[in-house]
Amino acid sequence: MSVLDEIIVGVREDLAQRRLPLSQIHDLLLSAPPVRNALESLNKNGLSVIAEVKRSSPSRGALAAIADPAALAKVYEEAGASIVSVLTEKRRFGGSLDDLVAVRQKVSIPVLRKDFMVDEYQFYEARAYGADLVLLIVAALSSAQLKDFYALATELGMTCLVEVHTHDELISALEISPTLIGVNSRNLKTLEVDAQVFANLLPQVPKEIIAVAESGISTRAQALFAEENGAKVLLVGEALVRGDDPALALRTLLGQG
């Protein structure tokens, strides 16, 4: 199996352990906080950043302990992040739904639930726990799942970040007319990073869609490279959590350091 396949197996096993009856999740939805407008947060002049609360990754292992994810998220917000991304996958990324809840309560900007969304239940769960956005990874989904999950997330009021890594995946993503497309320079099946993916795919994202550059961005030069190829947003995690000053790292990427 590829790395992506292995992660999804673990995601399904963990989901089976915590799954609640849908009736209970629907009850939780009634008390969920109102959805924040992600597109409004991103539609501004200049480059935007989705800053990630990320303890570890399959490619790098442990990155940072992050004992207080909410405090880190607040630092991101004050440094100029437009959205906070919270990893909720446990086995490879060390995240949890508790992190999502804590962050959502602390910041006033939209919050992305970053996980491997492969089951309808996860979308109800995401909204019930306060997510304003969810991730849809084209490589992990069938065409039918991509369409159905996008419709479900939209019905629940959430924005979808639709992630692609290849030209064929971009074509599949465009078929559902998304508002956000993320171009990931990391191949989730091998974990290799290739910055040329930005140059190949970002210019192909229609101008009316907000293009997000994901992975492999740790310097201002890399941020500018992504922007020059059409990115309006950067999704950054590792470069922010590994240093001593995440606020300075974020401002540096934005050219404000």
User: Which pLDDT score is estimated for 57?
Assistant: 87
The predicted structure's pLDDT at residue 1: 80
CB of 132 closer than 8 Å to CB of 122: no
Q: Would you say residue 44 has pLDDT above 90?
A: no
Q: Is 54 a catalytic residue?
A: yes
Active-site residue identified among 48, 114, 187, 232: 114
> Please, what is the average pLDDT of the chain?
95
Report residue 150 as tokens.
Answer: 């996008």
Q: What is the pLDDT of residues 117-144, one digit of tens each?
A: 999 999 999 999 999 999 999 999 999 9
How many independent structural domains does the chain possess? 1
- Whole-prediction pTM: 0.96
What is the reported pLDDT for 227? 96
Question: Pick the catalytic residue: 48, 54, 185, 187?
Answer: 54
215 noted as active-site residue: yes
d(CA 188, CA 4): 6
Q: Which of these is catalytic: 82, 85, 184, 185? A: 184
Give the mean model confidence (pLDDT) for residues 9-24: 95
The domain in which residue 53 lies consists of 3-253
Is 163 an annotated catalytic residue? yes
Identify the CATH number of the domain in which residue 235 sits. Answer: 3.20.20.70
Is 52 one of the annotated active-site residues of the chain?
A: yes
Residue 62 binned pLDDT confidence (cut-offs 50, 70, 90): confident
Looking at the DSSP bridge assignments, the partners of residue 160 are 134
238 is catalytic: no
What pLDDT, on a 0 to 100 scale, did the predictor assign at position 73?
A: 98
Inter-residue contact 173 to 209 (CB < 8 Å): no
pLDDT for residue 221 is more than 90: yes
Q: What is the C-alpha to C-alpha distance for residues 202 and 198, in angstroms, rounded to an integer? A: 5
Q: Which of 172, 181, 187 has its CA nearest to residue 231?
A: 181
Query: What pLDDT is stored for residue 110 in this prediction?
Result: 98
Query: Which residue among the candidates 77, 163, 227, 238 is catalytic per the annotation?
Result: 163
Q: Is 232 a catalytic residue?
A: no
Are the beta carbons of 229 and 198 closer than 8 angstroms? Answer: yes
Q: What is the mean pLDDT of residues 222-233?
A: 97
Residue of 56, 187, 215, 229 marked catalytic: 215
List pLDDT tens digits, range 158-182: 999 999 999 999 999 999 999 999 9
With pLDDT > 70 as the criterion, what percentage of the chain qualifies?
100
From the candidates 89, 125, 169, 214, which is the catalytic residue?
214
Single-letter residue type at 219: T
Whether residue 40 lies in the annotated active site: no
